[in-house]
Amino acid sequence: MSSMLKPVVLSMQGLKRCLVTSSKLILPVSSGDKKSDSTSKSCPNPENLEDGFHKFFPNVISQIIKHSRCQNIPDVAKWINTVFETNCSGGKMRRGMTILESLLILKDGKIDQDELQDAFLVAWAAEMMQSFILIMDDYMDQSETRRGKPCWYKTGNLGPKAMNDAFLMESSIYELFYHSLSSKPFYKEILHLFKDMVTRTSIGQTLDTYMSPNIGEKPNLTLYTTENYEGICKHKSSYYTIYLPVAAAMVLSGIKNKTAFEAAWNIALPLGIYFQEQDDYLDLYGDPNVTGKVGSDIRFGKCTWFAVQVMKTGKKHQIKLLKDFYGSKQEESIQKIKKLYEEMNLQNVFHNHALERSEEFNSKLNKLPNSVPTIIFHNIINSIVNRNK
């Protein structure tokens, strides 16, 4: 069927100048860069692509209901529709859109309708992964809001019932792949990629919960080291937030070179760590009206970049203060921790740290093989740097 379709060429001249500049990160592309010509690749018009992506979602839900074996159980079918529409909407769609934009870059902007539909489906699978992870994460963290609304487990007093919806969403990814992509040459690779990402993210969640205090206990701050913190970031953010979208696009485009995937991972790792560091920053200094959630890291005693800095560079009395009040839900204790961070000038330390990260990104970008155009990661950096939610 696809061989009879004419290619759909999507282009956007604006992406030919993909320089990422900001007060935090400066990522210039040298005119002498051996891969600077990669920025001349045709790229999608983001508005048209995003519109098509959103319009494809009802098709995804209908396929899920069709293959969920509940077509003759109206109440279940209706509930599935509610779960997916509520939890997969309202977000930034960063992972799904990165898959689509990266694929079009890798294919020089030329893609037929069959390939585009496959890409839409895989992109929505990435958003479904994000959604079921957030459902579980919010319940385990007992968070209050997500995307400006009550967390799913707090909707209609669902409580622990929300966990089943998370499992339902995850299993639906594999059902979608089996019924829609099993005849495709990339089926095994894309299925393995998603399952691998779920496993690695689960390991990250295990690390996160292991280092968070149990109910009624104080956090064990001796565990709050850079090594442990980056282990959490690597598994909770680097894999499914940064590496998954790029690797999925590479799989869909037919890339099989292991060196290319290794190179993509080598830059996804520090980007994912920085993404989580940003989350820690926004939990403290972000506007809840913008981020859509109320900061909770201090009261739940989470292992964050800021807590690690106190343990790493703080004086004895500062470390003692952290041990005495970190993880307390009392507003007075939370304010003492925030004042400690202010005393240690950690907000400015973070900004300087971000500039150091930019140098690391530059170095790794220049080492990417030609099969992974630098523009892909420039776009990712552009989407996450200086984000406010």
Which of 103, 168, 97, 113 lies closest to 135 in space, CA to CA?
Answer: 168
- Helix, strand and coil content of the chain, in percent to the nearest 5, comes to 70, 5, 30
55 a catalytic residue: no
Single out the catalytic residue among 138, 208, 283, 297: 208
6 a catalytic residue: no
CA–CA dist 223, 231 (Å, integer): 12
387 a catalytic residue: no
Other C-beta atoms closer than 10 Å to the C-beta of 233 total: 27
Torsion angle defined by CA atoms of residues 364, 366, 370 and 376, in that order, rounded to the nearest 10 degrees = 60
Query: CB-based contacts of 306: which residues, under 8 Å, 6+ apart?
Result: 280, 284, 297, 341, 346, 350
CA–CA dist 287, 273 (Å, integer): 22
92 a catalytic residue: yes
Single out the catalytic residue among 95, 200, 236, 299: 236
Single out the catalytic residue among 280, 297, 306, 377: 280
293 a catalytic residue: no
34 a catalytic residue: no
CA–CA dist 380, 242 (Å, integer): 8
Single out the catalytic residue among 24, 56, 57, 92: 92
Output the six-digit token pair for 289.
Answer: 């009206």
108 a catalytic residue: no
141 a catalytic residue: yes
Which of 166, 171, 173 lies closest to 137 in space, CA to CA?
Answer: 166
Single out the catalytic residue among 137, 165, 283, 297: 137
132 a catalytic residue: yes
- 3-state DSSP assignment of residue 144: coil
283 a catalytic residue: no
CA–CA dist 372, 85 (Å, integer): 34
Which of 52, 57, 256 lies closest to 176 in space, CA to CA?
Answer: 57
Single out the catalytic residue among 35, 141, 195, 323: 141
Distance of CA 159 to the CA centre of its chain: 25
Single out the catalytic residue among 146, 154, 200, 364: 146
- 3-state DSSP assignment of residue 220: coil
Q: Which ranges in 142-186 belong to alpha helices (H)?
A: 162-181
Q: Catalytic site residues?
A: 92, 132, 137, 141, 146, 208, 236, 275, 279-280
